[in-house]
Chains A and B, each alone.
Chain A
Amino acid sequence: MTSAPAKAAPAPTTPRKPIQPGRILMYALLVVAALFFLIPVYLLFATALKSPDAINLATTWHWPAALNWASFSEAWGKIGGNMLNSLFLAVVATLLSAMLGSLNGYALSKWKFRGANTLFALMLFGMFIPYQAVLIPLFQFIKSIGLYGSIWGLILAHVVYGIPITTLIFRNFYADVPDALVEAATIDGAGFWSIYRLVIFPISIPGFVVVIIWQFTQVWNEFLFAATLTNTTSQPVTYALSQLAGGQAVSWNLPMAGAILAALPTLLVYILLGRYFVRGLLAGSVKG
């Protein structure tokens, strides 16, 4: 797989025409790469659709003779409740993060004050810290305010640790809004809040889309907080899936069907709104 770049660079050497060895090599490399990315998906479905007694390590690669859809209902029975936990968690935490991020980004980009950049850099650091370095005090704190084992403790953690990235995305988004727009509104007598309501918020839809997709994906996929701050009634789906797959004598159709179910929401978001997903991805790499 690492041989791809070495071959890719010196490929075609003459201007493009319909059929050329270079083009054929290019498509061949693309197909090989696509196989690397898609073979796990084939095995995922092949295994999820087998009945437990048809699963055998020696026949891993065979497509099931008879499709067994019952794996999905059985997996849903085990992790369905956790899926609903995750859905509630992700929706609430995402909406709160997005609102907070939008206001922060607006304040930081349109009402710059001295030290704003330093403050922002200090904020951003929170995005990169390993959560292991704050986990014990966080656990104690959530416990001490009585939210341990409740989905609200998890929401609180996700909203707080989401502040850096949502602020970053909105700050960069609002940086492209011309300052003249805000100045004109100030001259017309509009203040901080009326400018936000009448000028900034209405043009923020694309920013909100990026942030909502990004945060939803992050919160849905998160594992460490899920494993430490919740108990059996409030566990999100990532934790439930890890339990489903973790045992020694598992029948593999179940975790595979569970993985498909757990992946479905974020995968749908990505397929339907991929463009915005990529934008969030690129924003996460901090380009100032």
Chain B
Amino acid sequence: MKGLSKDRLWSIAVLAPSIILIAVFVYGFIARSVYVSMTDWGNDPAQALALDPIIRWVGLANYQELFSGFLQGRFRQEMISTIFFTIFFILGCLGLGLGLALILDRNPKGEGLWRTIFLFPMSLSFIVTGTIWRWMLQPQGGLNQAPTLFGAQPGTFGWLSSSDAILKFDWNKLPLLTASVVGIVLIVMAVRAARSGDRTRTVVAAVCAAILIVWALLIGPNVKMLPAPELHGFNLALIGIIIAAVWQMSGYTMALYLAGLRGIPEELREAAKVDGANDLGLYRHVIFPLLAPISLSAMIVLGHISLKIFDLVYAMAGPDNVATSVPALNMYLTSFRQNQFSLGAAIGTILLILVAFVIVPYLASQFKQEDGHA
């Protein structure tokens, strides 16, 4: 092709504003946030909103404060909450979405109407969804009153207000737990690699697993992040918010799966039938494996939505309900209600790191594939 023709210059000129805007508003602002998170801007309230505040560099002190400071127990609970929320939210959306898609794929009458019903919450704002479900989950009303329609006693579950938690563990054991879980995963990987005869992978995974397990046995129990035990778990008040989130987003997974199911050529199903597969076998050996990439795609999109969700929580449980709070909400409150900008920036940065873990490998693999084609 020609080098730099006039048309090619135009195409770059057209892209330039967007490139500059993204460079500044995404990458520049991220860098700025990371910088702010390493200062003490706003930790002294008198300086927070000063026209020319005195800002000192404090390194990782804000992060240390969040993970092990006496006052930041709320943030640590939120970190655990957001992980539990993400897991249950993704499982709920994938399960319900797949179920609905499989039913709709059997061509019921009025398919369009069913699809409209399952998908309409997607078009609503999380604030609208939150407002509706806040009313549904009033402790003495809504869902808890539903049994009275059948003459039973009203329920007493503290939707949104419960302070009970299950699956509790001590924050001090977090390094130990993390090391153990990663160690077990590595052992599984080593066994799998050994079975498929990949020696290098077996050895690497086994050695890493061994190091982690030895660390967990000898040093791990003595690592303490806090002076006293601090229990965190899955707060039951989150269940209501998870249901509302699944209500809103499962239509999305249904649409994804339905598109996937419709994309499976009829010949493939016929061929499986000819080979003697019954319906169950057809799903297990043909259809579900073909849907796996869609599940991954959905998990990534849902995962990043769930890690940064905060408007739904804000609208359902209010900003001050510690039992249901999430880091994204805490960031907003810390920065714009308490004016503790550096601490807020640190929470924002942690969120970004969490999301990047999910998104970066995904984008990288997407575009590696595409470059391979070109």
Residue of B7, B102, B331 near A8 (CB, 8 A) is B102
Q: Which residue of chain B has its CB nearest to the CB of A274?
A: B116
Determine if A85 is an interface residue (Cβ-Cβ < 8 Å): no
Q: Which residue of chain A has its CB nearest to the CB of B244?
A: A40
Asked whether A132 lies within 8 Å of B328 as measured between CB atoms, the reply is yes
Determine if A249 is an interface residue (Cβ-Cβ < 8 Å): no
Q: How far in angstroms is the closest Cβ of chain B from A64?
A: 15
Given the complex of chains A and B, what is the CA–CA distance between A223 and B127 in angstroms? Answer: 8
CB within 8 Å of B: which of A34-67? 34, 36-38, 40, 43-44, 47, 57-58, 60-61
Q: Can you report 27 residue pairs joining A to B where beta carbons are below 8 Å apart? A: A1-B92, A5-B95, A9-B102, A9-B283, A33-B100, A38-B117, A60-B145, A61-B145, A61-B146, A117-B374, A125-B363, A128-B304, A130-B328, A132-B331, A132-B332, A132-B348, A133-B352, A134-B29, A136-B32, A137-B33, A163-B21, A191-B10, A224-B310, A263-B128, A266-B125, A284-B301, A288-B367
CB within 8 Å of A: which of B28-42? 28-30, 32-33, 36
Determine if A169 is an interface residue (Cβ-Cβ < 8 Å): no
CB within 8 Å of B: which of A232-255? 238, 241-242, 245-246, 252, 255
- B247 cross-chain contacts in A, Cβ below 8 A: 36-37, 40
Asked whether A133 lies within 8 Å of B351 as measured between CB atoms, the reply is yes
Q: Report the stretch among B55-63, B166-174, B339-347 that lies at the interface.
A: B339-347
- B10 cross-chain contacts in A, Cβ below 8 A: 107, 191-193
In addition to A117-B370, A220-B125, A284-B301, 7 A-B residue pairs with Cβ atoms within 8 Å of each other are A12-B106, A121-B367, A132-B344, A133-B349, A164-B22, A245-B130, A288-B367
Shortest 10 CB-CB contacts between residues of A and residues of B: A4-B99, A57-B141, A5-B99, A221-B125, A111-B11, A130-B308, A270-B123, A133-B352, A134-B29, A192-B10
Asked whether B126 lies within 8 Å of A2 as measured between CB atoms, the reply is no
- B310 cross-chain contacts in A, Cβ below 8 A: 132, 224
Given the complex of chains A and B, what is the CA–CA distance between A238 and B56 in angstroms? Answer: 37
Query: Interface readout for A68-110 with B: 1 if CB under 8 Å, 0 if not?
Result: 0000000000000000000000000000000010011011101
Determine if A147 is an interface residue (Cβ-Cβ < 8 Å): no
Residue of A1, A227, A255, A269 near B332 (CB, 8 A) is A227
Determine if A198 is an interface residue (Cβ-Cβ < 8 Å): no
CB within 8 Å of A: which of B301-325? 301, 304, 307-308, 310-311, 314-315, 318
Asked whether B351 lies within 8 Å of A132 as measured between CB atoms, the reply is yes
CB within 8 Å of A: which of B278-307? 278-280, 283, 297-298, 301, 304, 307
- A108 cross-chain contacts in B, Cβ below 8 A: 15
Query: Interface readout for B86-99 with A: 1 if CB under 8 Å, 0 if not?
Result: 00000110011011
Determine if B234 is an interface residue (Cβ-Cβ < 8 Å): no
Given the complex of chains A and B, what is the CA–CA distance between A185 and B17 in angstroms? Answer: 26
Q: Looking at chain A, what size class is its interface with the partner chain?
A: 35 or more
Q: Which residue of chain A has its CB nearest to the CB of B36?
A: A136
Given the complex of chains A and B, what is the CA–CA distance between A216 and B141 in angstroms? Answer: 35
Residues of B in contact with A (beta carbons under 8 Å apart): 6-8, 10-12, 14-15, 17-19, 21-22, 25-26, 28-30, 32-33, 36, 91-92, 95-96, 98-100, 102-103, 106, 108, 114, 116-128, 130-136, 138, 140-142, 145-146, 148-149, 154, 246-247, 252, 255-256, 259, 278-280, 283, 297-298, 301, 304, 307-308, 310-311, 314-315, 318, 328, 331-332, 335-336, 341, 344-345, 347-349, 351-352, 355, 359-360, 362-364, 366-367, 369-371, 374
Residues of A in contact with B (beta carbons under 8 Å apart): 1-2, 4-13, 26-27, 29-30, 33-34, 36-38, 40, 43-44, 47, 57-58, 60-61, 100, 103-104, 106-108, 110-111, 113, 117-126, 128-139, 141, 160-161, 163-164, 167, 186, 191-193, 217, 220-224, 227-228, 238, 241-242, 245-246, 252, 255-256, 258-259, 262-263, 266-267, 269-271, 274, 277-278, 281-282, 284-288
Q: Is the interface of A mostly helix, strand, loop or mixed?
A: helix
Asked whether B124 lies within 8 Å of A136 as measured between CB atoms, the reply is no
Given the complex of chains A and B, what is the CA–CA distance between A2 and B242 in angstroms? Answer: 13
